[in-house]
Amino acid sequence: MMKYFTTTIILLLGLTLAASAQMRVGYMDPQVVLDNLPEKEAIERQLNRFLDSREAEFEEKAIELQNMLARFQQEAPNLSEEETRRRQQELQVRDRELEEFQMRVQRELEQRQAELLGPILQEMNIVIESLAAERNLDYVLNEATSEGEMFLLFISDDGKENLNLTDQVIARMLQ
Report DSSP letters for 121-167, one per residue. HHHHHHHHHHHHHHTT-SEEEESB-TTS-BS-S---HHHHHHHB-HH
Q: Give me the residue spans of the domains in the chain.
A: 21-173
Tens digits of residue pLDDT in 13-50:
444 444 445 778 888 888 889 999 999 999 999 999 99
End-to-end CA distance of the chain: 60
Cα 102 from Cα 140, distance rounded (Å): 37
Model pLDDT for residues 82-121, shown as the tens digit of each residue: 999 999 999 999 999 999 999 999 999 999 999 999 999 9
What does the alpha-carbon distance between residue 106 and residue 86 come to, in Å, rounded to a whole number? 30
